[in-house]
């Protein structure tokens, strides 16, 4: 850092002289082009249409902010935001705690460590919709059958059929799929902690718990922040697992924001859901900026 | 609020279309002089039948090649938005299609031979989904008529008659219950089964659905507590009656049962009545090929003259304006509308053929509905006349699971008004 600040004064001159390696442009331009075509342009078009009454086809008129007004008075939209953010927060917490504990276990010197790691990673490579259908069957048939056989009353009806509990089913299945990826990042983090700090702690007579809370957790906290950002972003976009498990039901108890936006394409509500997507985009940007600032602060520690 | 048509906005749209056309070119080129037609058809049970029809057509018409696209209605809808719709479709006629109709994206078919033979009863049904001034945008191909499916063996065992009034229905249900038979098999896990069966039969048996939706559309954004019609006012009675049946006469585990479970359980004689459409007959027959089943309209009032069956235009034919192969598509359309093909198709799917010269179906399982169908004593289900963006299936699922009827219906009114306001 200090050397770069010393040379900062004569740097611009040198920069001007040194030609930029054309290879960089070769990498950058196609990516930028595709990103613009596939992400930026559609996003701008979508935001544009959120001020119209377009249904995706045919004629349309400008309607100003009508869609946004309707959006804020729509209880279904409010509920989908409430559900999505609540679900994302709970799932991030559940996933990170379990993944961290698993990672701790799998980095210790235990038997069949490598084989166990492989087993725990399997859910990551299965498609979400398939996991959802399998769990749907388990929740709706296997568990009630078990409850019936054992005479446990509350187990006899599927939790997916209970409007107050269905979200728990969604959290369980999402966590089941998301834990391996998170766990791998934690394993990488735990392996990067140099063994000599533990040795030093050992010599100083630190207990197991002190090692965990004073050394391990602070040293892998950067990884936790990464996991939380990635996880939160993924869970906000929750779609396939919910479709396979509850399809937004029972009632409208588990409709996520992404699901309501998709209805805009096949339900003839294009402009309105584009307005919804715009709001969601702005919220996502706010959340990312907040999380990134958190991360930046942590990295300099 | 500024509201004006905009030329330059069309330019943005045109740009989009050009980009899309470029991408579709990549997929569409490379063929020889043969004219390629994309035919959207996604009724799963009937795909083998339709594939045979397509193959025969392709053999007989070397200059045209029909390619069947079975990817489903959502993909078809999205293809309109992307600007490359199929050239011809036989598709479920519902609110999805209605927006293609209302924005005049489907071509006029009134000069086709099929239009001349279309039964006049169905014009008003088509119009309930909206119309494009001066055009016949779609022609019905297959009508499904739905009512209560009942197990004739159980009815005979307990000496029960087909009920004609609400009171008789309750008597039948009570005596079944006393004998330890579940009167109705319900499958709440699949929300559509509540919409198409329970809600539609209950509402259609008491309310004039066509008139209700016409007034509802006229009220538009004014729908609410003060409007002349509303869900909260007009649908409350039928929904309360529906809930009465639900609470007293359905299987205890209905909350976690699905449509597939229902077909199996009904075929095994676990319940006497089942609120499903004719598509369930073939599923039931897979488990119990010899089971005697029949059908009757759900009585919701004490006047037998109010009895009606639910119909829906299961398949309607249409050709998008944007298709580049309209002539070839019409040739294929004439082919599938030949009397022997359309009638054979409907016989295989237990549907009614909506042409003036077609005889009623002869399947005994449908015979309980034929008199009502013949007199046009039918209605289209309200659950399919509500725009898809209002999640009415989910709302009805909420009601059968115990949510407040009044609150839910008021929510639907508010959704309706909000939708009308922004469109």
Chain A interface includes B105 (CB < 8 A): yes
What residues are paired with B88 via a beta bridge?
Answer: B39
Of A255, A273, A276, whose CA–CA distance to A263 is shortest? Answer: A273
Report pLDDT for A142: 87
Chain B interface includes A160 (CB < 8 A): yes
Chain B interface includes A151 (CB < 8 A): no
Report pLDDT for A4: 44
> If pLDDT is split at 50, 70 and 90, which confidence band does B4 have?
very low
Quick: pLDDT tens for B80-112: 877 889 999 999 888 778 878 888 889 999 999
> If pLDDT is split at 50, 70 and 90, which confidence band does B5 have?
very low
> If pLDDT is split at 50, 70 and 90, which confidence band does B32 have?
low
Residues in chain B, overall count: 423
| In chain B, residues 273-312 whose CB comes closer than 8 Å to chain A | none
User: pLDDT higher for B21 or B225?
Assistant: B225
> If pLDDT is split at 50, 70 and 90, which confidence band does A5 have?
very low
- CA gap A294, A226 in Å, rounded: 10
- Collapse the DSSP code of A40 into the 3-class scheme (helix H, G, I; strand E, B; otherwise coil) and give the result: helix
Chain B interface includes A42 (CB < 8 A): no
Quick: pLDDT tens for B197-236: 999 999 999 999 999 999 998 998 899 888 999 999 999 9
Report pLDDT for A175: 94
Report pLDDT for A270: 85
Query: How many Cα atoms sit within 13 Å of A256 on the Cβ side?
Result: 26
Q: Work out the average pLDDT over A12-40.
A: 81
pLDDT surpasses 90 at A221: no
Report pLDDT for A300: 45
Chain A interface includes B237 (CB < 8 A): no
Summary mean pLDDT of chain A: 85
CB atoms within 10 A of CB A148: 13
Report pLDDT for A295: 67
Chain A interface includes B74 (CB < 8 A): yes
Summary mean pLDDT of chain B: 88
CB atoms within 10 A of CB A217: 12
* Among candidates A48, A144, A252 on the partner chain, residue whose Cβ is nearest the Cβ of B256: A144
Question: What percent of chain A is predicted at pLDDT more than 70?
Answer: 92
Smallest CA–CA distance, residue B69 to chain A, in Å, is 17
- CA gap B24, B36 in Å, rounded: 13
Chain B interface includes A227 (CB < 8 A): no
- CA gap B198, B413 in Å, rounded: 20
CB atoms A157 and B188 under 8 Å: no
pLDDT surpasses 60 at B162: yes
> If pLDDT is split at 50, 70 and 90, which confidence band does B1 have?
very low
Quick: pLDDT tens for A247-278: 887 878 899 999 988 877 777 788 899 999 99
Q: Is the distance from CB of A201 to CB of A210 less than 8 angstroms?
A: yes
- CA gap A240, A226 in Å, rounded: 23
| Furthest CA-CA distance within chain B | 72
* Site of tokens 């922040």: A225
pLDDT surpasses 60 at A1: no
Quick: pLDDT tens for A118-128: 888 888 888 88
Quick: pLDDT tens for B292-330: 999 999 999 999 999 999 998 999 999 999 898 999 999
Model ipTM? 0.70
Smallest CA–CA distance, residue B260 to chain A, in Å, is 12
pLDDT surpasses 80 at A92: yes
CB atoms A161 and B16 under 8 Å: no
Chain B interface includes A163 (CB < 8 A): yes
Please list every residue in chain B whose beta carbon sits closer than 8 Å to the beta carbon of residue A76. Answer: 391, 415
- Collapse the DSSP code of B371 into the 3-class scheme (helix H, G, I; strand E, B; otherwise coil) and give the result: helix
Q: If you measure CA to CA, which chain B residue comes closest to A37?
A: B19
Chain B interface includes A165 (CB < 8 A): no
| Furthest CA-CA distance within chain A | 81
Mutating which of B23, B100, B193, B397 best tests the A interface, going by the most A Cβ atoms within 10 A?
A: B397
Q: What is the pTM of this model?
A: 0.78
What residues are paired with B352 via a beta bridge?
Answer: B143
Chain A interface includes B253 (CB < 8 A): yes
CB atoms within 10 A of CB B308: 24
Please list every residue in chain A whose beta carbon sits closer than 8 Å to the beta carbon of residue B6. Answer: 61-62
CB atoms B81 and A62 under 8 Å: no
Question: What percent of chain A is predicted at pLDDT more than 90?
Answer: 34
Mutating which of A76, A77, A162 best tests the B interface, going by the most B Cβ atoms within 10 A?
A: A76
Burial of B46 (0-12, 13-18, 19+ CB in 10 A): buried
- Determine how β-strand B35-40 pairs with β-strand B88-91: parallel
Report pLDDT for A169: 93
Chain A interface includes B132 (CB < 8 A): no
């Amino acid at each position: 850092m200090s050397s770069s600040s010393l040379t900062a004064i004569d740097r611009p001159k040198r920069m001007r002289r040194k030609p930029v390696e054309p290879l960089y442009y070769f990498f950058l331009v196609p990516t930028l082009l595709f990103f613009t075509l596939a992400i930026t342009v559609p996003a701008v078009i979508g935001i544009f249409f959120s001020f119209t009454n377009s249904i995706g086809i045919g004629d349309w008129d400008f309607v100003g902010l009508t869609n946004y007004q309707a959006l804020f008075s729509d209880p279904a939209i409010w509920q989908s935001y409430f559900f999505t953010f609540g679900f994302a927060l709970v799932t991030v917490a559940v996933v990170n705690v379990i993944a961290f504990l698993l990672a701790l276990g799998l980095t210790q010197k235990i038997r069949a460590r490598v084989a166990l790691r492989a087993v725990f990673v399997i859910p990551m490579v299965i498609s979400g919709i398939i996991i959802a259908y399998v769990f749907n069957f388990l929740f709706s048939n296997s568990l009630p059958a078990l409850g019936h056989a054992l005479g446990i009353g509350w187990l006899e009806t599927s939790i997916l059929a209970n409007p107050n509990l269905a979200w728990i089913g969604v959290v369980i299945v999402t966590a089941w799929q998301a834990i391996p990826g998170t766990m791998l990042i934690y394993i990488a983090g735990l392996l990067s902690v140099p063994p000599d700090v533990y040795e030093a702690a050992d010599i100083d007579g630190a207990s197991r718990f002190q090692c965990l809370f004073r050394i391990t957790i602070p040293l892998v906290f950067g990884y936790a922040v990464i996991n939380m950002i990635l996880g939160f972003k993924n869970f906000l976009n929750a779609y396939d697992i919910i479709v396979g498990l509850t399809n937004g039901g029972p009632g409208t108890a588990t409709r996520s924001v992404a699901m309501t936006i998709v209805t805009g394409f096949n339900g003839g509500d294009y402009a309105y859901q584009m307005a919804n997507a715009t709001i969601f985009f702005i919220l996502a940007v706010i959340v990312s900026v907040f999380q990134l600032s958190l991360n930046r602060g942590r990295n300099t520690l | 609020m500024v509201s004006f048509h905009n030329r330059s906005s069309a330019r943005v749209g045109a740009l989009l279309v050009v980009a899309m056309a470029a991408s579709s070119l990549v997929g569409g080129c490379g063929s020889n002089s043969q004219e390629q037609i994309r035919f959207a058809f996604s009724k799963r049970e009937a795909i083998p039948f339709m594939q045979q029809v397509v193959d025969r057509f392709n053999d007989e018409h070397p200059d045209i090649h029909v390619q069947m696209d079975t990817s489903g209605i959502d993909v078809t809808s999205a293809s309109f938005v992307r600007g490359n719709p199929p050239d011809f479709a036989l598709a479920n006629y519902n609110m999805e299609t209605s927006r293609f109709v209302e924005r005049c994206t489907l071509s006029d078919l009134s000069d086709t031979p099929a239009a001349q033979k279309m039964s006049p009863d169905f014009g008003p049904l088509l119009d309930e989904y909206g119309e494009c001034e001066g055009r016949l945008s779609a022609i019905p191909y297959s009508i499904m008529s739905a009512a209560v499916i009942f197990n004739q063996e159980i009815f005979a065992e307990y000496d029960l008659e087909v009920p004609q009034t609400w009171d008789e229905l309750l008597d039948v249900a009570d005596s079944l219950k006393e004998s330890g038979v579940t009167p109705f098999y319900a499958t709440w896990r699949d929300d559509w089964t509540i919409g198409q069966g329970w809600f539609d039969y209950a509402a259609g048996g008491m309310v004039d659905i066509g008139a209700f939706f016409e007034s509802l559309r006229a009220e538009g954004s004014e729908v609410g507590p003060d409007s002349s019609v509303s869900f909260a006012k007009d649908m409350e009675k039928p929904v309360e009656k529906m809930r009465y049946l639900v609470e007293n006469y359905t299987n205890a585990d209905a909350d976690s049962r699905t449509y597939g479970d229902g077909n199996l359980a009904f075929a095994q004689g676990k319940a006497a009545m089942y609120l499903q459409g004719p598509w369930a007959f073939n599923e039931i027959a897979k488990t119990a090929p010899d089971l005697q089943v029949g059908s009757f309209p759900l009585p919701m009032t004490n006047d037998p003259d109010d009895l009606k069956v639910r119909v829906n235009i299961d398949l309607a034919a249409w050709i998008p304006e944007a298709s580049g192969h309209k002539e070839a598509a019409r040739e294929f359309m004439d082919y599938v509308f030949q009397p022997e093909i359309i009638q054979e198709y409907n016989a295989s799917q237990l549907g009614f053929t909506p042409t003036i010269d077609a005889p009623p179906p002869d399947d005994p399982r449908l015979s309980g509905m034929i008199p009502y169908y013949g007199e046009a004593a039918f209605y289209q289900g309200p659950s399919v006349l509500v725009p898809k963006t209002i999640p009415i299936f989910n709302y009805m699922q909420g009601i059968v699971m115990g949510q407040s009827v009044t609150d839910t219906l008021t929510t639907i009114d508010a959704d309706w008004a909000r939708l009308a306001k922004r469109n």
